[in-house]
């Protein structure tokens, strides 16, 4: 790279700051509570939208792969822990991979567009639901049927995509509000 590496310090995981980490954790916990109360009442044909996934993708898109990994792991794990009789760690695994992938891919999006996060959420939702179903079947949950998986995936993609224009700006505002003071050298 032509820019002198010493002057432009890339933002790394260590620089995220305690306050900011706390704020983003709070966002995830609130998202889980909202998803299991308000949104689970306001279903689309009986299907609950995955607000936590939208938040994970938003944060990974804004903050990069490493924050994406940690966020995905945390969001997925808390969701797993609150579900009874489920395979703990499965959602965490899927969301960790998604957080990383979104964080890496965002570097290749050439220009800033409002549609990029929306497209990222749509793709991530499809991969997350199909991935979860596939892993659940591999781990012995025999009841998961193809038709139900397709129904869940289709509706979650639609619902999550519709939520993104509202959720993404909110997450960005929280992230910006708690951005650590940095020294800019020109």
Partner 1 sequence: MSRRRVRGRVLLLAFLVLCVGIITLDFRQTQTGPLQRVQEFAAAVVTPLQRGFTVVTRPVGNLFTSLAELANLRSENTRLKAEVERLNAAADQSDVFEAENVTLRRHARLRESFASMTPVTAQIIGNSSTNWKEAVQIDKGRAAGIRPDMAVIEPDGVVGKIVPPVTRTSATVLLLTDPSFGAAARITEAEITGIVTGSGSSENLSMKLVDNDANVSVGDAVETSSFNNGVFPPTIPIGEVTAVGEERAALDKEVEVEAAVNFRNLEYVDVLLETGPRIAFRGGRADGG
Task: Name the minimum Å distance from CB 131 to partner 1.
Answer: 12
13 binds partner 1 (CB under 8 A): yes
CB distance 163 to 118 below 8 Å: no
Binding mask 23-62 for partner 1 (x = CB under 8 A): ------xx-xxxxxxxxxx-x-xxxx-x-x----------
Q: Is the dihedral of CA 100, 104, 105, 109 positive or negative?
A: positive
79/81 Cα distance (integer angstroms): 5
Spatial separation of the C-alpha atoms in residues 171 and 54, rounded to whole Å:
10
The count of other CB atoms within 10 Å of the CB of residue 149 is 17
Taking CB under 8 A as the criterion, the residue among 119, 148, 165, 169 binding partner 1 is: 148
Q: Which residues bind partner 1 (CB under 8 A)?
A: 1, 10, 12-13, 29-30, 32-41, 43, 45-48, 50, 52, 64-66, 69-70, 73, 77-79, 81-93, 96-97, 100, 103-104, 129, 132-133, 136, 139, 141, 143-144, 148, 152, 156
């Amino acid at each position: 790279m032509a820019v002198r590496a010493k002057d432009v310090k890339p933002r790394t995981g260590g620089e995220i700051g305690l306050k900011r980490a706390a704020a983003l954790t709070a966002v995830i916990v609130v998202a889980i509570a909202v998803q299991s109360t308000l949104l689970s009442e306001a279903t689309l044909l009986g299907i609950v939208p995955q607000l936590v996934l939208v938040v994970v993708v938003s944060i990974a898109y804004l903050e990069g792969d490493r924050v994406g990994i940690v966020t995905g792991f945390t969001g997925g794990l808390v969701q797993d822990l609150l579900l009874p009789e489920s395979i703990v760690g499965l959602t965490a695994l899927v969301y960790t991979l998604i957080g990383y992938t979104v964080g890496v891919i965002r570097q290749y999006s050439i220009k800033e567009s409002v549609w990029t996060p929306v497209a990222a959420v749509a793709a991530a939702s499809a991969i997350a639901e199909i991935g979860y179903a596939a892993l659940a079947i591999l781990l012995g949950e025999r009841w998961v049927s193809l038709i139900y998986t397709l129904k869940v995936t289709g509706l979650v993609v639609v619902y999550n995509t519709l939520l993104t224009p509202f959720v993404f700006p909110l997450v960005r505002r929280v992230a910006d509000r708690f951005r650590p003071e940095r020294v800019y050298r020109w």
